[in-house]
């Protein structure tokens, strides 16, 4: 290839390369322009090989020209690279700009479940009267749940409890009364405790749930009488629901108390007939049966006491005017956010 032509071609390569580098829009495009002209098989590299093969007298001029074209292309690439990087940084600054004058992201603060609120309120009232708090396990022995409470195997009262059996001698506790047994086995009299917790029964409708909450109460000392029980429960109802709340005691039967009663509160809720209210049973109670004292090693000749077991859901239904117990367990935020 004659030198003239080589020089002309070098000039043309330079023009093309500078033009296409000027038009490049990104780093990738710049790299492919570099490969196109300066890569192993690039246009300038290939022509430089031809220059290498020229006769010695023609080589210096062609070689110098080729080197200066290469220098110009390299410089253009370097300048373009600086320009592209600056533009990229600029656009990232714009994209990632934080507007500190915008309002903050909204987040929801959790709150206590209505049953937790009511349980805390119940404990507050009894603790203010001198009761302590005791707890027991949800999975309980048949002995503590039934036998020690004067409900032997095959006793008809067992049918009332619709028990979930874990094994022959282990149950999901059907009430919090086994915590009475645990407390008396662990502590000599006098005792005054309230025992909150979950209980389980195979039973479900608008006022019955298969898992619900009770608070057990137990007071044992010398000469505790039924009037003490009535007085304590009256204070409780009036503290929880206000001094004018109508309530009534009704005779009842429990194998572990004698005499026994139930306490009803007049409930005004959605859907109740005539607007007169309905009596809702909220707790069972009575004087601890001598057989129970004997089972825990207390002497029924020396001590007496009362016990009660109240339903937390029932009290929450009355307090908040809720007619369906299932609302407590559906986890509907529209319901829960009202408390």
Binding residues for ligand FA5, rule: CB under 6 A, are 175, 177, 201, 203, 208-209, 212, 214, 216, 254, 257, 260, 281-286, 307-311, 313-314, 325
Given a contact cutoff of 8 angstroms between Cβ atoms, the answer to whether 191 and 175 are in contact is no
What backbone torsions phi and psi does residue 64 show, to the nearest 5 degrees? -60, -45
Nearer to ligand FA5, 43 or 150 (CB): 150
Burial of 173: CB neighbours in 10 Å, binned 0-12, 13-18, 19+: buried
For the sheet containing 278-288, what is the strand order? 132-133, 191-200, 211-221, 304-311, 278-288, 257-267, 247-254
Residue 141: CB atoms within 10 A of its CB come to 17
**Residue 140 CB, nearest distance to ligand FA5 (Å)?**
12
The distance of closest approach from Cβ of residue 102 to ligand FA5 in the complex, given in angstroms and rounded to an integer, is: 48
User: Residue 205: which region, alpha, beta or left (left: phi > 0; alpha: psi -120 to 50)?
Assistant: beta
Sign, CA torsion 189/193/197/203: positive
Q: Are 39 and 47 in contact (CB under 8 A)?
A: no
43 vs 214, which CB is nearer to ligand FA5?
A: 214
Residue 283 CB, nearest approach to ligand FA5 (Å) = 5
d(CA 168, CA 177): 20
If residue 280 lies in a helix (H) or strand (E), which one and from where to where? Answer: strand 278-288
**Cβ-based nearer residue to ligand FA5, 77 or 285:** 285
CB-wise, 42 or 311, nearer to ligand FA5? 311
For residue 160, the minimal CB distance to ligand FA5 (Å) is: 7
Q: What is the rounded CA–CA span in Å between residue 22 and residue 104?
A: 44
Cα 35–chain centre separation:
58
| CA pair distance 283, 216, nearest whole angstrom | 9
CB of 257 to ligand FA5, least distance (A): 5
Judged by beta carbon, residue 16 or residue 158, the one nearer ligand FA5 is: 158
**Choice between 14 and 314, CB closer to ligand FA5:** 314
CA-CA distance, 339 to 328, in Å (whole number)?
12
Residue 181 CB, nearest distance to ligand FA5 (Å)?
11
Which residue of this chain has its Cβ atom nearest to ligand FA5 in the complex?
Answer: 311
Quote the least distance from Cβ 214 to ligand FA5, whole Å.
5
CB-nearer residue toward ligand FA5: 61 or 117: 117
**What's the closest the beta carbon of residue 212 comes to ligand FA5, in angstroms?**
4
CB of 223 to ligand FA5, least distance (A): 19
Pairwise CA distance, residues 34 & 221, whole Å? 98
Measured from the CB atom, the residue of 106 and 205 that comes closer to ligand FA5 is 205
DSSP H helical ranges for 204-332? 226-241, 290-295, 312-320
Nearer to ligand FA5, 15 or 225 (CB): 225
Please give the Cα distance from 10 to 322 (Å, whole number): 92
Q: Which residues pair with 200 in a beta bridge?
A: 211
């Amino acid at each position: 290839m004659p030198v003239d032509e080589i020089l002309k071609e070098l000039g043309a390569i330079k023009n093309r390369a500078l033009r296409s580098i000027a038009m490049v829009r990104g780093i990738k495009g710049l790299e492919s322009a570099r490969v196109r002209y300066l890569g192993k098989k690039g246009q300038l590299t290939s022509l430089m090989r031809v220059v290498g093969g020229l006769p010695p007298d023609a080589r210096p001029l062609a070689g110098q020209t080729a080197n200066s074209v290469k220098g110009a292309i390299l410089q253009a690439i370097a300048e373009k690279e600086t320009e592209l990087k600056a533009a990229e940084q600029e656009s990232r600054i714009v994209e990632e700009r934080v507007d500190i004058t915008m309002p903050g992201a909204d987040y929801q603060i959790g709150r206590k479940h209505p049953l937790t609120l009511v349980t805390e309120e119940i404990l507050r009232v009894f603790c203010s009267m001198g009761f302590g708090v005791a707890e027991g396990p949800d999975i309980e022995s048949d002995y503590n749940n039934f036998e020690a409470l004067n409900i032997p195997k095959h006793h008809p009262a067992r049918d009332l409890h619709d028990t979930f059996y874990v094994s022959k001698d282990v149950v999901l506790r059907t009430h919090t009364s086994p915590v009475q047994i645990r407390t008396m086995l662990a502590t000599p009299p006098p005792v005054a405790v309230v025992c909150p917790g979950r209980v389980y029964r195979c039973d479900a409708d608008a006022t019955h749930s298969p898992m619900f909450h009770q608070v057990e109460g137990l007071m044992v000392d010398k000469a505790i009488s039924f009037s003490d029980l009535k007085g304590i429960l009256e204070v409780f109802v009036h503290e929880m629901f206000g001094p004018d709340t109508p309530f009534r005691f009704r005779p009842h039967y429990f194998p572990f108390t004698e005499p026994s009663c139930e306490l009803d509160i007049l409930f005004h809720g959605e859907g109740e007939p005539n607007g007169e209210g309905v009596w809702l049973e909220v707790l069972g109670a009575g004087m601890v049966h001598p057989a129970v004292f004997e089972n825990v090693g207390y002497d029924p000749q020396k001590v007496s006491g009362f016990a009660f077991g109240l339903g937390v859901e029932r009290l929450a239904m009355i307090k908040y005017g809720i007619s369906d117990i299932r609302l407590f367990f559906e986890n509907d935020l529209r319901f829960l956010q009202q408390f």
